[in-house]
Structure 1
Amino acid sequence: MPTYTAPTKDLQFVLHDVLKITQSDIPGYADLEVDFTSAILEEAGKISSEVLAPLNTVGDTEGCRMENGVVYTPTGFKEAFEQVKEGGWPGLDMPEEYGGQNMPAVIGSAVGEMFSAANQAFTMYQGLTHGAASAILAHGTQAQKDTYLPKMVSCEWTGTMNLTEPHCGTDLGLMRTKAEPQGDGGYKITGQKIFISSGEHDMADNIVHLVLGKIVGGPEGIKGVSLFIVPKFLVNEDGSLGARNGVTCGKIEEKMGIHGNSTCVMNYDEATGYLLGEEHKGMRAMFTMMNEARLGVGMQGLAQAEAAYQNALEYAKDRLQGRDVTGAKNPDGPADPLIVHPDIRRSLMDQKSFAEGARAFILWGATMIDAAHRSGDKDADGLVSLLTPVIKGFLTDQGYDMTIKAQQVYGGHGYIEEWGMSQYTRDARIAMIYEGANGVQALDLVGRKLAQDGGKHVMAFFDLVKSFIKDTAGQDADFDRDFLDPLKAASKDLQSAGMYFMQNGMKNPNNALAGSYDFMHMFGHVCLGLMWAQMGKAARDALSAGASDAAFYETKLATGRYYMARQLPATALHLSRIQSGADTVMALEAANF
């Protein structure tokens, strides 16, 4: 059975050596001393490794089952959920007034990575609840907040998001779910939603569904969509649970992965719902949840890659196959371990350099969320908005690829279920699809985010890269060559791609849209290149200061050099594809495919 060890030391390195969180003026960051964050991460890591990870295979093999309309989660999930709730983990970064601990999002993200890596399907129950609670916090009335948030923050009640219908996914303007006003402030919600993660289960007393629907008589299309709170059980004025609402689970979807999460078809039959936010402004309210979810899904790409890499590394060290071409490394044994072979090293270095770079990227993104929410920093809000499709799309694409590389290290055993490696690949696959498929993320990046606020935020990103290079250059020729020069070249490629879109996208929009996926990946590589340059600088500085754990920092530098030399040059390929335009992409008539 696969195992998982929480990367607490690496998380601490990013938080304190790279991001230097205690030196930030973001409210709450001054309290995040090394010992304090260490205590949180160690405890979360212990739960991840000892409680959640052993249930990962259980959830995959058992899945969820429905009997007489009741959905039962896999063996051990309910008890583990109680442990997570007792520790206050679901409310780690939620407001104290509703029972949370008011920690910054950067700490919530660090803990979230570990929980998700240990057991993605399990962690989704609390993850969806967090997103639903955030939407109510941002858009709900005071009465709605008081009614739902204390129970949701503690995960006594869980939450969901209901968007997709059988005939519409991305194009939500086509939805048919209707809401009929009742004259008392309530609505009757009727319709069917599919692919609803955590839609029905046995781990919470109530499930608070956030449902998109159209108020009868409202505008057509997306402009007529509103968001409603539709609880499984109605809530009495004193906060106790009342009658069962008109919402039921039609079936549990049979899926490729995340079997431990109850992905449901949900039927609404004149269910009582309450408007969340304004009439016909449902997408604005839902996107509070969607944007948070997209960052969380990007984290899932990293998490599955990290867990798969850990197991592939151990296998490569233990499995004896062939001899090192430069001479036997295990002369007393029948063969050398797999890890001596350059191609295995290449695969492991791909995985390691991605996971560590992605971790820094996620945590950097979380600091921008904190700056926006805690300090009202509009520039940080704009930058993380720009980077959200990159975090979601690039990290999940790459994360999935890394799970395949990890599986490949095992050879045939990676394809056999008893070794458990296929689960990482199957679980990682959904992250490329839900919360907006990655092709849509790329279109959002190029079609909307680049031009947002007159291109202010993408220019701020380029200035950030340029400033880092300028401030760091000239101190160490080797560092300049290994880290700064590749980053400069990749950033120029990204700027050239942006210029191509400006010059060619207006006269033929397909020229921009055909290159959007490559641009998203190019942007992702530049972001990881920036992270690796920053981590390389932090490691170099620590060694210069006489750090006691020199091996850790030397390993960090070596891993960074690998990414800059072997992965970052992919920007040149992506640029070439972008500059080839849309003609070859659009050349065939639909009938000729």
Structure 2
Amino acid sequence: MNYRPNSEDVRFVLHAVLDATPQLRALAPFAEIDADLQIQVLNEAAKFVAEVVAPVNRAGDEIGCRFVDGEVITPPGFREAYAGFQQGGWPALSAATEDGGQGLPGVLEAIVFEWLSGANHGLTMAPGLLHGAYECLKHHASGTLKQRYLSKIATGEWLTTMCLTEAHAGSDLGQVRTRAEPHVDGSYRVSGAKIFISGGEHDLTPNIVHLVLCRLPDAPAGPKGLSLVLVPKVLPDGRRNAVRCDRIEEKMGLHGSSTCSMRFDAAEGWLVGEPSRGLAAMFVMMNSARLHCAMQGIGLLDAAWQKADAYAHERRQMRAPAPASGAVPGSRGTQAADLLAEHPAMRRILDTQRAWIDGARAIAYRTAIQLDVAKHAADVKTRDRAQRWCALVTPVLKAACTQQAFSGASECLQVFGGHGYVREWGIEQVVRDARVTMIYEGTNEIQAIDLLVRKVLVDSGTGMSAVLIEMRDQLDASRETDADVQRRLAQLRYLTTTLAMAAKVDPVLPYEVADDYLRVVMIVMLAWAWARIDVAAATATDAESTRWSRPSAAFRRWVLPEFDMRLGIVKRACDAVITAQAERGNTFGT
């Protein structure tokens, strides 16, 4: 029951729903990239993922990475699979051609990494930071560093890490203690320890490029005093650098990825960007990683759904209850009525998770397209509008898609009953692997706070309102479902305004309701996505229309009601602040 990418589903969302090709061809670097080329690339990627990457997933989990005499040995088949990945040019999809890349749209890369994560999350962790590291160096590194490292990273010949976390600090980067001392030749000597470093040591590539967050002498305390230094495992003259892996973590899941404790003992490195501006350079990497983290969530949920759906259509149980009016149950006919898939409780699980996968894809693929627009559009206003969308939607996607990957995979495990709890069927691995996505690249609570406190409230909701109006204007009020989505978008705009006012009275309030607010945003975006999918499905073939109708109905019946619940939670919290303010005899907002 290995994962298999479904190119046709992705093609429908990318082209029939989002009409991606005209948007991409309006950007100068992609003017010659038509739909046929995009489909050809994705078909080849789907074949590679299914035939090379997915088959070694089980060994990655059951054997895992091994730590032997300071070296990490990856699971059987991983080296060969990564070699095929690198030699096939897959790491370089969206990198610039002058750096050894293929110059393709970022949305294609996002889709490929979604599939890779669904097929083999552990192996996919190895190249997962390549794009972010490439963009970080492209924008902030010196000419010498670019010449030495950029093409090696772009092509995946050398892999990279992002060394942020320290044992005493966790998410509080302001407490970073790793030091970097300047050397007479212009380089730096980095000393300190980092933990939870994905791919800090492995045998997949001959060199590993570490991007290390550290503090220069006399740097101010806190996050504003941090710098970014590039520290390679192997130095340009061939010497082994003074950077070592002390151990790898024994983890709940993700056994195929080495999570390392790293030690830097006056390791040689070079400054990336300006002194004490390390976070600015690093955030280029982190924002890319957060979108890819959302794609991991979608891929893992799809993997769980594929396993559960296949099992439910093979497993025979007691007869399912007959539907009203004697209609044929489900879609498989009366002879299949004792299949697990025909039981209403199981259909609800399967159709609900399918609704999340399909809807989240539409939002995530649109966001990936907007990243390209923000980077390449000729018009400044168009770039600014795209950047606003990405800034607001990326934390929503990261948090909501990873949350659903874990909870949805757990629901899919339920379809197997007791068989799901044993290793044989593979579904329990997805549950374990998915759990970490809610934690790394900024916990989901941090994503919610980032969205509400740092991005929505900073302009009293003006930017979020503009995004919601943009979504509203893409709907047709003459259609009942579209009108309902427009009403909910208006409710969210009003809630955002109310919350901005209440936050001025109670500064703690946004931190308390940030998770609920993020869920409101995600559910209304899913409603917008499904309204777009329904329009595309209405003009599709009968087979396509049938494919999309059941998850569409499941979304409105089982997912959309959460909007009202979460909206009510935030509204009641705001009302409590308003009431308390009135009881004190103060005018609200003063």
TM over 0.5: yes
Question: Per the alignment, in what secondary structure is the counterpart of residue 255 of structure 1?
Answer: coil
Question: Per the alignment, in what secondary structure is the counterpart of residue 155 of structure 1?
Answer: coil
Q: Which amino acid aligns with 2:400?
A: F
Map of 2:358 onto structure 1: 356
Displacement of 1:582 in angstroms is: 8.2
Question: Per the alignment, in what secondary structure is the counterpart of residue 533 of structure 2?
Answer: helix
Sequence identity (%):
39
Map of 1:135 onto structure 2: 136
Map of 1:7 onto structure 2: 6
Asked if 1:94 corresponds to 2:92, the answer is: no
Please say if residues 514 and 582 of structure 1, whose CA atoms lie closer than 8 Å, have aligned partners that are also in contact. no
Asked if 1:71 corresponds to 2:67, the answer is: no
Q: Which amino acid aligns with 1:561?
A: A
Deviations 1:228-251 (A, max 9, x none): 000001113xxxxx2111100000
Displacement of 1:584 in angstroms is: 9.8
- Rounded to whole Å, the distance in 1 between the matches of 2:66 and 2:272 is 31
- Rounded to whole Å, the distance in 2 between the matches of 1:333 and 1:18 is 35
- Rounded to whole Å, the distance in 2 between the matches of 1:72 and 1:48 is 22
- Rounded to whole Å, the distance in 2 between the matches of 1:387 and 1:584 is 28
Displacement of 1:529 in angstroms is: 1.2
Map of 1:117 onto structure 2: 118
Q: Which amino acid aligns with 1:578?
A: V
Map of 1:152 onto structure 2: 153
Question: Per the alignment, in what secondary structure is the counterpart of residue 249 of structure 1?
Answer: strand
Map of 1:574 onto structure 2: 566
Map of 2:581 onto structure 1: none
Deviations 1:362-397 (A, max 9, x none): 100001100011116122112101111101111111
Please say if residues 294 and 399 of structure 2, whose CA atoms lie closer than 8 Å, have aligned partners that are also in contact. yes
- Rounded to whole Å, the distance in 1 between the matches of 2:501 and 2:155 is 52
Map of 1:306 onto structure 2: 302
Asked if 1:512 corresponds to 2:510, the answer is: yes
Q: Which amino acid aligns with 2:203?
A: D
Question: Per the alignment, in what secondary structure is the counterpart of residue 220 of structure 1?
Answer: coil
1:554 equivalent among 546, 556, 579: 546
Deviations 1:66-97 (A, max 9, x none): 11111110000000111111110000100111
Asked if 1:197 corresponds to 2:198, the answer is: yes
Map of 1:253 onto structure 2: 249
- Rounded to whole Å, the distance in 2 between the matches of 1:166 and 1:378 is 38
Map of 1:34 onto structure 2: 35
Asked if 1:338 corresponds to 2:362, the answer is: no
- Rounded to whole Å, the distance in 2 between the matches of 1:334 and 1:273 is 64
Displacement of 1:560 in angstroms is: 2.0
- Rounded to whole Å, the distance in 2 between the matches of 1:134 and 1:247 is 24
Aligned length: 565
Question: Per the alignment, in what secondary structure is the counterpart of residue 127 of structure 1?
Answer: coil
- Rounded to whole Å, the distance in 2 between the matches of 1:331 and 1:296 is 40
Displacement of 1:332 in angstroms is: 10
- Rounded to whole Å, the distance in 1 between the matches of 2:210 and 2:418 is 43
Map of 1:438 onto structure 2: 444
- Rounded to whole Å, the distance in 1 between the matches of 2:11 and 2:575 is 48
Displacement of 1:252 in angstroms is: 0.4
Question: Per the alignment, in what secondary structure is the counterpart of residue 474 of structure 2?
Answer: helix
Q: Which amino acid aligns with 2:263?
A: N
- Rounded to whole Å, the distance in 2 between the matches of 1:162 and 1:314 is 40
Unpaired segments ≥5 residues, structure 2: 578-590
Question: Per the alignment, in what secondary structure is the counterpart of residue 192 of structure 1?
Answer: strand
Please say if residues 502 and 574 of structure 2, whose CA atoms lie closer than 8 Å, have aligned partners that are also in contact. no
Question: Per the alignment, in what secondary structure is the counterpart of residue 181 of structure 2?
Answer: strand
- Rounded to whole Å, the distance in 2 between the matches of 1:554 and 1:484 is 20
Question: Per the alignment, in what secondary structure is the counterpart of residue 75 of structure 1?
Answer: coil
Pair 1:502–1:451, CA change in 2 (3 A): closer
Displacement of 1:580 in angstroms is: 2.9
* Aligned positions of 1:191-340 closer than 5 A: 191-236=192-237, 242-326=238-322, 336-340=338-342
Pair 1:334–1:357, CA change in 2 (3 A): closer
- Rounded to whole Å, the distance in 2 between the matches of 1:344 and 1:243 is 58
Asked if 1:473 corresponds to 2:477, the answer is: yes
Q: Which amino acid aligns with 2:28?
A: P
- Rounded to whole Å, the distance in 2 between the matches of 1:559 and 1:139 is 44
- Rounded to whole Å, the distance in 2 between the matches of 1:370 and 1:324 is 48
Displacement of 1:334 in angstroms is: 11
Displacement of 1:129 in angstroms is: 2.2
- Rounded to whole Å, the distance in 2 between the matches of 1:158 and 1:559 is 39
Question: Per the alignment, in what secondary structure is the counterpart of residue 233 of structure 1?
Answer: coil
Pair 1:186–1:165, CA change in 2 (3 A): same
Please say if residues 460 and 500 of structure 2, whose CA atoms lie closer than 8 Å, have aligned partners that are also in contact. no
Map of 1:408 onto structure 2: 414
Please say if residues 250 and 264 of structure 1, whose CA atoms lie closer than 8 Å, have aligned partners that are also in contact. yes
Displacement of 1:486 in angstroms is: 3.3
Pair 1:143–1:453, CA change in 2 (3 A): farther
Displacement of 1:453 in angstroms is: 5.5
Map of 2:18 onto structure 1: 19
Asked if 1:451 corresponds to 2:452, the answer is: no
- Rounded to whole Å, the distance in 2 between the matches of 1:529 and 1:245 is 52
Pair 1:467–1:172, CA change in 2 (3 A): same
- Rounded to whole Å, the distance in 1 between the matches of 2:496 and 2:43 is 43
* Aligned positions of 1:526-565 closer than 5 A: 526-540=524-538, 542-543=539-540, 549-565=541-557
Displacement of 1:493 in angstroms is: 3.3
Pair 1:487–1:203, CA change in 2 (3 A): same
Q: Which amino acid aligns with 2:3?
A: Y
- TM-score normalized by structure 1? 0.92
Q: Which amino acid aligns with 1:243?
A: R
Deviations 1:318-356 (A, max 9, x none): 111111211897999898111111111110011100001
Deviations 1:220-273 (A, max 9, x none): 11111000000001113xxxxx21111000000111111101110000011011
Question: Per the alignment, in what secondary structure is the counterpart of residue 505 of structure 1?
Answer: helix
- Rounded to whole Å, the distance in 2 between the matches of 1:473 and 1:555 is 25
Displacement of 1:488 in angstroms is: 2.5
Map of 1:417 onto structure 2: 423
- Rounded to whole Å, the distance in 2 between the matches of 1:443 and 1:310 is 33
- Rounded to whole Å, the distance in 2 between the matches of 1:420 and 1:583 is 47
Deviations 1:271-301 (A, max 9, x none): 0111100000000000000000000001111
Please say if residues 298 and 392 of structure 1, whose CA atoms lie closer than 8 Å, have aligned partners that are also in contact. yes
- Rounded to whole Å, the distance in 1 between the matches of 2:575 and 2:567 is 16
Map of 2:375 onto structure 1: 373
Deviations 1:519-568 (A, max 9, x none): 1111111111111111111122x24xxxxx32112332442232133312
Displacement of 1:30 in angstroms is: 4.2
- Rounded to whole Å, the distance in 2 between the matches of 1:584 and 1:432 is 30
Q: Which amino acid aligns with 1:125?
A: A
Deviations 1:477-511 (A, max 9, x none): xxx23x21431343233223312311211110122
- Rounded to whole Å, the distance in 1 between the matches of 2:91 and 2:121 is 15
The range that moved more, 15-24 or 303-312, is 15-24
Unpaired segments ≥5 residues, structure 1: 237-241, 475-479, 544-548, 586-593
Question: Per the alignment, in what secondary structure is the counterpart of residue 245 of structure 2?
Answer: strand
Q: Which amino acid aligns with 1:439?
A: E
Pair 1:335–1:373, CA change in 2 (3 A): closer
Pair 1:262–1:188, CA change in 2 (3 A): same
Question: Per the alignment, in what secondary structure is the counterpart of residue 451 of structure 1?
Answer: helix
Q: Which amino acid aligns with 2:505?
A: K
Please say if residues 232 and 247 of structure 1, whose CA atoms lie closer than 8 Å, have aligned partners that are also in contact. yes
